[in-house]
């Protein structure tokens, strides 16, 4: 499985901890179960033999299973100790810091962050062109200093001015636009409207905002930013909801604001791991790992078509499978 | 003479997509009231006796469980608590089931 590669191409933004209190609570239950997994490993192998066909696989297999399935593991260890997790977080942070200098730090995906690097180069280049032009002007004995803004603008100032229509962009401003300004504006607009067109490698930093999960009452959880995430992934929210419900063996509803109300108590990291699996199965291209894909239904079959390399993979329809009738059980036990 | 054989393939049935042939063993988790959970195992191969698996798992994982007969999905093993990792380890280590045939669901 290419879980690792996967993580590189699709990352969740910095996680915002909505529920510090809650985490502690649920982890106690899980840690107890989680710990005994390893202990049991050997004992089982030596005694159980249901079919009398194959006996005792080597311990090597166990290793595989330990680091293979990511989702249950995260859950099983709870908050207790997981070096892998820590490492993951750290590297994420490091990546985040190098890429997003002026990040607001709220974990939200901000397209402007991603444009930073390439834009800087264009800025430099443009500035270089400008300088040449300036020199030539000076040689000709002409000066256009009066157009020059007093201090060199920072990227943020530039973007703010552009967004608000201030400075040179103001309706009543008569100073002519400079080529570098127009070029910068072009790149900003291009990235906002068609991120896939504005240069290569950009989508490597493709980020999905972390799910915002809150508890409603005692038995329900609210996944607040599902519409935003669905939009980012270019998927029908219904499809994602179907997957979430099937995976969690539960159901729920969508409220007026588009938030998903899920029956049961779920934490952010749990929904994140479900979303991760959704991404692997229904979002990323099987060939180039790009998340820029389209989900299509053809003759009752579902396909994921890649918008980058054109490859297509067939994916299974979401199936709920067996669901225990818990209500009935409760009554029967009582 | 019966025409039953004509029914064996329904071209209009919902299909599975790519992994049609694969008979996954699905291990799922469901939340019960409070923090309690329930693990279900669906799709055990025919040659494995679910009763024996249940008996063993109950003892080994120190939990309780039962077998539920589903009209479409066959016999389902239910175990109290989150036994997903343990049961999949058990299946891989001593039941000769490949990891690629096991699908663990849930968070
Ligand atoms: Zn592709």
Q: Identify the pLDDT of residue B66.
A: 95
pLDDT at position A165 is 79
- The CA A5 to ligand 1 mean position distance, Å, reads 13
Nearest chain A alpha carbon to B68: A324
B46: CA distance to ligand 1 center in Å? 39
pLDDT in tens, A3-20: 444 444 566 765 544 444
Q: Select, from the ranges A54-68, A147-161, A228-242, the one with the highest average predicted confidence (pLDDT).
A: A228-242
Q: Is the dihedral of CA A237, A238, A242, A248 positive or negative?
A: positive
Residue from the list A48, A68, A265 with its beta carbon closest to the beta carbon of B94: A48
A48/B contact by beta carbon, under 8 A:
yes
Q: Please check whether residue A63 touches B, CB under 8 A.
A: no
What pLDDT does residue A25 have?
A: 40
- Residue B4: per-residue pLDDT: 55
Residue extents of the structural domains in chain A: 207-283, 286-316
**Cβ-defined contact of B85 to A64 (cutoff 8 Å):** no
**Domain containing B63: what range?**
25-105
Q: How far apart are CA A121 and CA A201, in angstroms?
A: 15
Contact A156, A102 (CB under 8 A): yes
Residue A266 binned pLDDT confidence (cut-offs 50, 70, 90)? very high
Alpha-carbon span A320 to A315, nearest angstrom: 15
pLDDT, tens digit, 9 for 90 and up, residues A273-307: 999 999 999 999 999 888 999 999 998 899 999 99
* Short-list A105, A322, A170, CA closest to B76: A322
What does the pLDDT average to over A118-128? 46
For residue B64, the CA-to-ligand 1 centroid distance in Å is 46
Number of domains into which chain B is organized: 1
| Chain segment A195-242, per-residue pLDDT in tens | 666 655 445 567 889 999 999 998 999 999 999 999 999 999 999 999
Question: Band of the pLDDT at A190, cuts 50, 70, 90?
Answer: confident
Angle between helices A20-47 and B50-60 (to 10 degrees): 120
pLDDT of residue A284: 93
Q: Quick one: pLDDT band at residue A186, thresholds 50, 70, 90?
A: confident
The residues that bridge with B28 in the sheet, in sequence order, are B40
Q: How confident is the model at residue A139 (pLDDT cuts 50, 70, 90)?
A: low
Give the closest of B17, B28, B85 to A76, CB-based: B85
Q: Does B69 touch chain A (CB under 8 A)?
A: no
Q: What is the mean pLDDT of residues B14-39?
A: 75
Smallest CA–CA distance from B105 into chain A, residue: A247
Is pLDDT of B16 > 50? no
Whether residue A320 is predicted with pLDDT greater than 70 in this model: the reply is yes
- B9 assigned to some structural domain: no
Angle at A152 between CA A180 and CA A147, to 5 degrees: 65
Cβ contact B63:B80 at 8 Å: yes
Work out the number of other CB atoms within 10 angstroms of the CB of residue B65.
22
Its CATH class, for the domain covering A207-283, is alpha beta
Shortest distance, CA A32 to any CA of chain B (angstroms): 10
What is the predicted pLDDT for the residue at A28? 40
* Chain A residues with CB-CB distance to B90 below 8 A: 44, 48
**Each residue's pLDDT tens digit, B59-104:** 999 999 999 999 999 999 999 999 999 999 999 998 899 999 999 9
Mean pLDDT of B7-12: 54
Question: Of all residues in chain A, what percent carry a pLDDT higher than 70?
Answer: 49
Residue B11 has pLDDT above 60, yes or no: no
């Amino acid at each position: 499985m290419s879980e690792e590669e996967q993580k590189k191409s699709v990352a969740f933004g910095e996680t915002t901890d909505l529920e510090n209190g809650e985490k502690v609570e649920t982890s106690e239950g899980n840690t107890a179960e989680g710990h005994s997994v390893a202990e049991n490993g050997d004992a089982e192998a030596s005694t159980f033999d249901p079919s009398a066909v194959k006996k005792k696989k080597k311990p090597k297999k166990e290793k595989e299973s330990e680091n293979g399935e990511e989702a249950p593991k995260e859950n099983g260890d709870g908050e207790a100790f997981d070096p892998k997790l820590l490492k993951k977080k750290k590297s994420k942070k490091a990546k985040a810091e190098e890429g997003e200098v002026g990040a607001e730090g709220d974990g939200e995906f901000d397209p402007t962050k991603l444009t930073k690097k390439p834009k800087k180069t264009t800025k430099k280049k443009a500035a270089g062109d400008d300088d040449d032009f300036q020199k030539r002007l000076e040689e000709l004995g002409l000066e256009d200093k009066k157009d020059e803004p007093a201090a060199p603008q920072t990227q943020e100032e530039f973007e703010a001015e552009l967004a608000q229509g201030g400075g040179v962009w103001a309706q009543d401003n008569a100073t002519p636009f400079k080529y570098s300004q127009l070029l910068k504006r072009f790149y900003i607009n291009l990235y906002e409207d068609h991120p896939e067109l504005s240069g290569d490698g950009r989508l490597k930093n493709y980020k999905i905002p972390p799910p915002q999960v809150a508890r409603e009452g005692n038995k329900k959880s609210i996944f607040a930013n599902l519409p935003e995430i669905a939009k980012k992934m270019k998927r029908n929210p219904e499809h994602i909801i179907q997957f979430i419900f099937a995976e969690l063996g539960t159901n729920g509803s969508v409220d007026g604001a588009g938030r998903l109300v899920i029956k049961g108590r779920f934490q952010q990291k749990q929904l994140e791991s479900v979303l991760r699996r959704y991404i692997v199965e229904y979002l990323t291209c099987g060939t180039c790992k790009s998340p820029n894909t389209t989900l299509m239904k053809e003759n009752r079959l579902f396909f994921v078509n890649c918008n980058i390399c054109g490859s297509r993979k067939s994916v299974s329809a979401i199936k709920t499978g067996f669901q225990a009738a818990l209500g009935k059980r409760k009554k029967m036990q009582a | 003479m019966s025409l039953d054989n004509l029914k064996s393939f329904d071209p209009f049935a919902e299909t599975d997509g790519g992994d049609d042939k694969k008979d996954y063993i699905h291990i799922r988790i469901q939340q019960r009231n409070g923090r309690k959970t329930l693990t279900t195992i669906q799709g055990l191969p025919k040659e494995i006796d679910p009763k024996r698996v249940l008996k063993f798992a109950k003892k080994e994982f120190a939990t309780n469980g039962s077998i539920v007969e589903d009209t479409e999905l066959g016999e389902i093993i239910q175990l109290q608590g989150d036994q997903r990792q343990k049961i999949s380890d058990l299946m891989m280590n001593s039941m000769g089931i490949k990891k690629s045939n096991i699908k663990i669901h849930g968070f």
